[in-house]
């Protein structure tokens, strides 16, 4: 399996835990949703555009390309070659153009089309890939712009890229299956954090509501603690963290609840010693 690697570069990747991207002043920026979801059926065709904005006072270039995308509860993210993952839909997607020059203060649009195969009786659940929009500095080897007006950096170059997820969901047969991948304590800036690992063992994207309820030794419910919402594709996993720094030392029972939607609730109970 080939992994994307970028030696001698600092990569700053904009990922859609927050769905709206804010422009960064020194380079092009994607404006709008960084995750696009489409409910599809065999033979369906959907189209869309990605708006690329240049908030600077100089022309900027960007290159556009595809990757697959996977992530895991240890915090790792992988952007492999297209069609590496079993559920990649990279072959379904075409886009144009593959590079753009954006005038100062303006924006251009990248058009894409997703075509679900006609003969797709075996398809079910979610399929996804990523369209990358990567800023090309004027002094980069692939740039076609004059870099004389910009300061040249030697040995280290910051590269900004936006990952726009394009996900297609075949809803005929959906399997919701959540697994808990360990519960443990870790130190955080605010004190003790409870880390809950959640894996998606089903076949469809979930954006679950996850919370815990904490009980003391006498069985008294000390309240509900919510987490942020995250996207979890099939065969990927994430970690949710809950702040327990306000609790005294002792043993607690913790009920973990994952609401994956469509009346799909999953739960686990754990003993935690602080």
Q: What are the pLDDT tens digits along the chain (274 aa)?
A: 333 333 333 345 555 433 334 344 578 999 999 999 999 998 999 999 999 999 999 999 999 999 999 999 999 999 999 999 999 999 999 999 999 999 999 999 999 999 999 876 789 999 999 999 999 987 666 767 665 545 544 556 677 899 999 999 998 889 999 999 989 998 866 678 999 999 999 999 999 999 999 999 999 999 999 999 999 999 999 999 999 999 999 999 999 999 998 889 999 999 999 8
Distances (CA, A) of 248 to 117, 139, 220: 57, 56, 14
- Do 39 and 79 belong together in one domain? yes
d(CA 111, CA 66): 13
- Do 118 and 164 belong together in one domain? yes
Domain count, the chain: 2
- Do 157 and 51 belong together in one domain? yes
- Do 165 and 188 belong together in one domain? no
Find tokens 């609790």 and name the residue. Answer: 247
Of the candidates 107, 111, 112, the one whose C-alpha atom is nearest the C-alpha of residue 31 is 107
**Terminal-to-terminal C-alpha distance of the chain:** 41
**What torsion do the CA atoms of 73, 226, 35, 199 make, to the nearest 10 degrees?**
30
d(CA 31, CA 107): 9
- Do 22 and 102 belong together in one domain? yes
From 119, 151, 170, give the residue that closes a domain: 170
State the Rg of the chain over Cα.
22
Q: Dihedral sign for Cα 61, 97, 38, 196, please.
A: negative
From 103, 135, 170, give the residue that closes a domain: 170
- Do 49 and 163 belong together in one domain? yes
1 is a domain residue? no
- Do 237 and 268 belong together in one domain? yes
- Do 155 and 202 belong together in one domain? no
- Give the structural domain span for 138: 9-170
In the chain, beta strands by DSSP E: 9-14, 29-31, 35-40, 45-53, 60-67, 70-71, 77-78, 93-96, 99-102, 107-115, 125-136, 157-170, 178-188, 191-200, 209-215, 221-226, 237-243, 251-259, 265-273
- Do 78 and 160 belong together in one domain? yes
pLDDT of 22: 39
- Do 184 and 158 belong together in one domain? no
Q: Dihedral sign for Cα 236, 44, 166, 226, please.
A: negative
- Do 140 and 248 belong together in one domain? no
pLDDT of 247: 93
3 is a domain residue? no
- Residue 252 sits in a domain whose CATH number is 2.60.40.10
pLDDT of 205: 98
d(CA 13, CA 140): 18
pLDDT of 26: 74
* DSSP conformation class of 91: G
Find tokens 């900004």 and name the residue. Answer: 160
66 is a domain residue? yes
127 is a domain residue? yes
> Whole-prediction pTM value?
0.85
pLDDT of 137: 84
233 is a domain residue? yes
- Do 109 and 77 belong together in one domain? yes
From 107, 135, 170, give the residue that closes a domain: 170
- What six digits make up the tokens of 106? 């303006």
4 is a domain residue? no
């Amino acid at each position: 399996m080939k992994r994307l690697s970028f030696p001698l570069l600092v990569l700053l990747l904009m990922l859609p835990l927050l769905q709206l991207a804010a422009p960064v002043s020194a380079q092009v920026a994607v404006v709008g949703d960084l995750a696009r979801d489409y409910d599809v059926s065999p033979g369906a065709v959907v189209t869309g555009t990605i708006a690329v904005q240049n908030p600077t006072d100089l022309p900027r270039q960007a290159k556009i390309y595809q990757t697959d995308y996977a992530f895991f509860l240890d915090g790792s993210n992988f952007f492999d070659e297209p069609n590496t993952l079993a559920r990649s839909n990279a072959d379904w997607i075409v886009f144009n153009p593959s590079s753009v020059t954006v005038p100062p203060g303006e924006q251009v649009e990248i058009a894409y089309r997703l075509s679900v195969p006609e003969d797709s009786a075996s398809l079910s659940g979610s399929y996804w890939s990523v369209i990358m929009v990567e800023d090309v500095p004027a002094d980069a080897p692939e740039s076609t712009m004059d870099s004389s007006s910009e300061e040249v950096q030697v040995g280290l170059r910051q590269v900004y890229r936006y990952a726009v997820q394009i996900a297609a969901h075949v809803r005929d047969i959906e399997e919701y299956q959540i697994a808990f991948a360990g519960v443990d304590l870790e130190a955080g800036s605010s004190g003790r954090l409870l880390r809950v690992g959640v894996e998606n063992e089903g076949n469809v994207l979930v954006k679950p509501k996850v919370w815990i309820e904490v009980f003391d030794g006498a069985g008294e419910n000390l309240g509900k603690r919510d987490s942020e919402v995250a996207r979890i594709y099939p065969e990927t996993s994430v970690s949710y963290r809950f702040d327990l720094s306000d609790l005294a030392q002792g043993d607690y029972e913790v009920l973990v609840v994952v609401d994956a939607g469509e009346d799909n609730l999953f739960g686990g109970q754990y003993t935690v010693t602080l």
